[in-house]
Amino acid sequence: MAANLEQLVAALSELTVLEAAQLVKMLEEKWGVSAAAPVAMAVVPGAAAPGAPAEPVEEKTEFDVVIKDAGPKKIEVIKAIRQLTNLGLSEAKTLAETPGGKVLSAVSKDAAMEAKKKLEEAGAVVELA
């Protein structure tokens, strides 16, 4: 049987590309199958499939202004928080002393950058999320 397979491989190797394509089509019709081999691929979340057009990256439009650390000038930071929000003195103080506290939530990029600048000028460590 192995000798027959080797002869078959030798005969198929002599086919032109056009003849090989015709053979594939004939075998697909005869056997009712597809010659397209299933391809197992690891899919990386967020990665585009090979040959697929890249999906446009959606730009973030809403930001949270998060205070990481009030820094050494806590009073200045509390004043800045009160300017940016409608919080009273005690609420602003609590927010300034809470690492990870949201000063502003779901604001535009410009508003978030302005708030970050004011808070950093007052001495706070701030991040936009």
Tell me the pTM.
0.54
- Report the share of the chain in percent with pLDDT over 70: 81
- Residue 117: pLDDT band (50, 70, 90) is very high
SS3 68: strand
Distance CA 4, CA 10 (A): 10
Q: What is the mean pLDDT of residues 93-102?
A: 88
Domain ranges of the chain: 63-128
Higher-pLDDT residue of 120, 40: 120
Q: Assess whether pLDDT exceeds 90 at residue 76.
A: yes
Q: What is the CATH number of domain 63-128?
A: 3.30.1390.10
Distance CA 108, CA 116 (A): 12
Distance CA 46, CA 74 (A): 41
